């Protein structure tokens, strides 16, 4: 087997990027982050600012919510990013990207992303982590919908996220 050199592995500590829109960050995201933090020396939760998405929360709000949820974990940083993930990873000297998988449908999309990233930067690794089974059905989209209609999202998100969702939807009137 021929081993490809990985320019991202030439660092003394192993840094991983955990990217996402985190609109909002959920307990499933936090579970994956906690596991990644136990596997790597440092994990950067990279809050994406993608131009083709309509976010409920601004980039700064999403970063702030993530900071409030994560607290002062010694090996986790939260940073916003734009552009190609592999370019951000190079800038941060990361050796891998962490992606959470909930279902088979997630895998198909994530597999394509992993292959594309590896084409762009040979040797760039993708590590797939599953959240706890009780958190696998949680998605930011579903959480927002439940919150929009006044449902209880407390089993799915940190209390500060629940409060932020309630504030966002406070002026909404249901039929």
* Domain assignment present for 163: no
Instruction: Give the number of other CB atoms < 10 A from CB of residue 148.
Output: 15
Q: Is 51 domain-assigned?
A: yes
Domain for residue 53, yes or no?
Answer: yes
23 assigned to some structural domain: yes
- Are 14 and 127 a contacting pair, CB within 8 Å? no
Segment 89-106, tens digit of pLDDT: 999 999 999 999 887 667
pLDDT at position 10 over 60: no
Joined together, the tokens standing for residue 22 give 């985190």
36's tokens: 């990644």
In a domain, 50, yes or no: yes
User: For residue 67, is it within any domain?
Assistant: yes
Per the model's pLDDT, the better-predicted residue between 110 and 93 turns out to be 93
pLDDT at 7 over 60: no
Does 29 qualify as catalytic in the annotation? yes
Total number of domains in the chain: 1
Are 86 and 8 spatial neighbours (Cβ–Cβ below 8 Å)?
no
* 53 in active site: yes
Of the candidates 9, 102, 118, 168, the residue annotated as catalytic is: 102
Q: Which two tokens stand for residue 18?
A: 């955990």
User: Residue 137: its pLDDT value, please?
Assistant: 86
* Given the residues 140, 144, 158, 162, the one annotated as active site: 140
Residue-level pLDDT at 172: 65
CA distance 80 to 45: 8
Residue 97 domain flag: yes
pLDDT tens readout for residues 49-93: 988 889 999 999 999 999 999 988 889 999 999 999 999 999 999
Q: Which domain holds residue 69?
A: 13-135
Contact between 128 and 38 under an 8 Å Cβ cutoff? The reply is: no
Q: Is position 102 annotated as part of the catalytic site?
A: yes
CATH number, domain of 38, equals 3.40.50.620
Tell me, yes or no, whether 45 lies in a domain: yes
pLDDT more than 90, % of the chain: 65
**93 assigned to active site:** no
pLDDT at 2: 42
Q: Where are the alpha helices (DSSP H) in the chain?
A: 27-39, 59-70, 85-92, 104-120, 140-148, 159-168
- pLDDT for 1 beyond 50: no
Per-residue burial over 102-127, b = 16 or more CB atoms within 10 Å of its CB, e = otherwise: beeebeeebeeebeebbeebeebbbb
């Amino acid at each position: 087997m021929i081993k490809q050199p990985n320019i991202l592995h030439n660092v003394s500590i192993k840094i991983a990027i955990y990217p996402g829109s985190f609109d909002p960050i959920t307990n499933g995201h936090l579970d994956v982050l906690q596991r990644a933090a136990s596997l790597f020396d440092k994990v950067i939760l990279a809050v994406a600012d993608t131009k083709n998405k309509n976010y409920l929360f601004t980039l700064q709000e999403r970063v702030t919510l993530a900071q409030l949820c994560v607290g002062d974990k010694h090996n986790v940083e939260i940073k916003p990013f734009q552009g190609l993930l592999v370019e951000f990873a190079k800038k941060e000297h990361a050796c891998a990207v962490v992606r959470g998988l909930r279902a088979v449908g997630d895998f198909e999309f994530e597999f394509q992303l992993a292959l594309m990233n590896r084409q762009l930067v040979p040797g760039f690794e993708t590590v797939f982590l599953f959240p706890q089974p009780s958190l696998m059905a949680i998605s930011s989209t579903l959480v927002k919908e439940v919150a929009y209609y006044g449902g209880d999202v407390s089993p799915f998100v940190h209390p500060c996220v629940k409060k932020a969702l309630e504030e966002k939807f406070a002026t909404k009137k249901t039929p």
